[in-house]
Chains A and B, each alone.
Chain A
């Protein structure tokens, strides 16, 4: 099994250490802590990529900054707390990593969060969809050699 980056492994360990019912509470914390979009993106929703794999509307933008670090931005409505929670995990676990580190994140990340009992498989596939789209944007912007949002 490929290793998770330390930031994601720490999150996975936090979930694993909890009783199953408490894991949902932690997911809710990630949902509540998801940062709002920066104004420049909030004003330009066309720069965000939809994630149709999710059952709830979510949009994301990935940037590679001048410092070579990946920056993630998500937009998901409060009526979709589980989707927001997954976005929150990805934000906390991936934001600030290098493109190579993001691209190396194992695709089975959603199954390593000890949530498979609480959260339905389709939901977890939605999170896998978010991760795949993040990687796609990172790959495209690093291949193009320009820090672009899409």
Chain B
């Protein structure tokens, strides 16, 4: 990596110690050549109300998704986006965002589909930066277009599709949605529009670990020991397991993908981005209701 990692002791404990940066580190590195800071939010207008000085915006909905097919950009589209954002293949990219970095993790995961090498996440995200009283601005940075190679997207390593999930039944899966979404109760609440799913419940065998369990109150990640107590101790997952994580559309499960892959060093974690908006609408796929994982039919 061209820009040295943040050597905060907490990060050194994680399986991959250089994927997180602290607010302190970022504040000290703003403006470093070869570093691009990206804000990715759930709220499409939040960046405009104020952002970290020099940070650019990437919107998951308008920029990372294909506008027609339910899919992501292709290699040429990603190369074009990177070029317009002033990102080269060797650029160090630090992501941060709202909602404890859901969308920042999601953007990072999409970058990894294209194998972008140096991606890091701001521990604590946007909320911690603001809580610490650090500088924000509404000035948009001037971007110098960069050259970015066309790299074909690799959907085989960290992404799972519905048929692969069907073939994975009986193997480790993590449902990172809220307990009511997991049990399927949510769809029974009167007057509430469904989150785009016809059926409620979870994929048979999936363990419930709401994404937020990996985060502290201030949005930073829990320590490695605390995370291991949850995913390994309590849920029985092992670092060499083949794990699929999912949520509603793949954003919260990107957060868990980050935790399992980089903080705990799991070797094979895939994010099922179709998630419940696909599974809960698919015909004849098995579903389990209630609080127990259940088993594959």
Interface residues of A (CB under 8 A from B): 24-25, 27-28, 31, 52-53, 55-56, 78-83, 85, 117-123, 125, 128-129
- How far, in angstroms, from A124 to B248 measured CA to CA in the complex? 17
Q: Which residue of A lies closest to B42 (CB)?
A: A55
Which residues on B sit within 8 Å (CB–CB) of A125?
193
- How far, in angstroms, from A122 to B46 measured CA to CA in the complex? 16
- How far, in angstroms, from A24 to B47 measured CA to CA in the complex? 11
- How far, in angstroms, from A78 to B46 measured CA to CA in the complex? 9
Which residues on A sit within 8 Å (CB–CB) of B44?
24, 82, 118-120, 123
Interface centre among B48, B98, B196 (most CB of A within 10 A): B48
Which residues on B sit within 8 Å (CB–CB) of A27?
45
Could you give, for residues 75-116 of chain B, a 1 whenever the CB lies within 8 Å of some chain A CB and a 0 otherwise?
Answer: 000000000000000000000001000000000000000000
- How far, in angstroms, from A25 to B45 measured CA to CA in the complex? 8
* B149 at interface, CB cutoff 8 A: no
* Interface SS majority for chain B: loop
**A117 x B48 contact (CB < 8 A):** no
**A28 x B48 contact (CB < 8 A):** yes
Which residues on B sit within 8 Å (CB–CB) of A28?
45, 48-49
* B62 at interface, CB cutoff 8 A: yes
Nearest CB of chain B from residue A50's CB, rounded to whole Å: 11
Which residues on A sit within 8 Å (CB–CB) of B48?
24-25, 28, 81
Q: A120's contact among B49, B61, B193, by CB below 8 Å, is which? A: B61
Interface centre among B44, B45, B62 (most CB of A within 10 A): B45
Which residues on A sit within 8 Å (CB–CB) of B193?
53, 125, 128-129
Nearest CB of chain B from residue A27's CB, rounded to whole Å: 6
Could you give, for residues 182-207 of chain B, a 1 whenever the CB lies within 8 Å of some chain A CB and a 0 otherwise?
Answer: 00000000001101100000000000
- How far, in angstroms, from A107 to B148 measured CA to CA in the complex? 44
**A121 x B196 contact (CB < 8 A):** yes
- How far, in angstroms, from A120 to B67 measured CA to CA in the complex? 11
* B43 at interface, CB cutoff 8 A: yes
- How far, in angstroms, from A129 to B87 measured CA to CA in the complex? 39
Nearest CB of chain B from residue A136's CB, rounded to whole Å: 9
**B49 x A81 contact (CB < 8 A):** yes
User: Could you pull out 15 A-B pairs where Cβ atoms are within 8 angstroms?
Assistant: A24-B45, A24-B48, A27-B45, A31-B49, A52-B192, A53-B192, A53-B193, A55-B42, A80-B43, A82-B44, A82-B45, A118-B62, A119-B44, A121-B196, A129-B193
> Given A24-B48, A125-B193, A129-B193, are A81 and B62 neighbors across the interface (CB < 8 Å)?
no
Q: A28-B49, A81-B46, A118-B62 are in contact. List 19 more A-B contacts (CB 8 A).
A: A25-B48, A27-B45, A28-B45, A31-B45, A52-B192, A55-B42, A56-B43, A78-B49, A79-B43, A81-B43, A81-B48, A82-B43, A82-B45, A117-B62, A118-B61, A119-B61, A120-B44, A122-B195, A125-B193
- How far, in angstroms, from A102 to B52 measured CA to CA in the complex? 41
- How far, in angstroms, from A123 to B193 measured CA to CA in the complex? 12
Nearest CB of chain A from residue B277's CB, rounded to whole Å: 10
Could you give, for residues 31-58 of chain B, a 1 whenever the CB lies within 8 Å of some chain A CB and a 0 otherwise?
Answer: 0000000000011111011000000000
Cβ-closest 4 pairs across A and B:
A81-B45, A120-B61, A82-B45, A82-B43
- How far, in angstroms, from A82 to B46 measured CA to CA in the complex? 8
- How far, in angstroms, from A147 to B67 measured CA to CA in the complex? 46
Which residues on A sit within 8 Å (CB–CB) of B43?
56, 79-83
Which residues on A sit within 8 Å (CB–CB) of B98?
79
- How far, in angstroms, from A31 to B67 measured CA to CA in the complex? 26
Which residues on B sit within 8 Å (CB–CB) of A85?
45
Nearest CB of chain A from residue B170's CB, rounded to whole Å: 32
Nearest CB of chain B from residue A137's CB, rounded to whole Å: 13
Which residues on B sit within 8 Å (CB–CB) of A119?
44, 61
Which residues on A sit within 8 Å (CB–CB) of B49?
28, 31, 78, 81
- How far, in angstroms, from A85 to B44 measured CA to CA in the complex? 11
- How far, in angstroms, from A49 to B242 measured CA to CA in the complex? 45
Which residues on B sit within 8 Å (CB–CB) of A118?
44, 61-62
